[in-house]
Amino acid sequence: MTASIVTTALVWSGVVILGGLGSVLRFTVDRAVGRRIARSFPFGTLTVNVSGAALLGFLGGLALSKGAALLAGTSFVGAYTTFSTWMLETQRLGEERQVRVAVANLIVSVMLGVAAALLGQQIAEHL
């Protein structure tokens, strides 16, 4: 086999493994938070997305190679965080006429996510 085929196979294997780990961790964290805080506000998804933003900011602040950043950021963090669930939960809150909670979910998620990403990046840059 040529070197590029082996490299491609290794990258795809990394995507599968890291993506799988990220999605299992997302499910675990979301359920654990949801069980502890049983409210209409989606605290599990918020926890996952804010912690994922912090991790991605941290990874962005490190001097990783392009391949390592792609695998860690796209595969693991991409599978761990969940934009689609955030949007679906927000839409369902609106359908249930919980408009204030839906708007709060949007605003709080964006504000905390951006702050977490900046904090993660600053931590990595000071290592």
Known binding positions for Na(+): 78, 81
Sign of CA dihedral 116, 122, 126, 127: positive
CA distance 80 to 76: 6
CA distance 47 to 55: 12
Distances (CA, A) of 67 to 7, 11, 63: 10, 8, 12
Number of CB atoms found within 10 A of residue 33's CB: 16
DSSP 8-state assignment for residue 114:
H
Annotated binding site: 78, 81
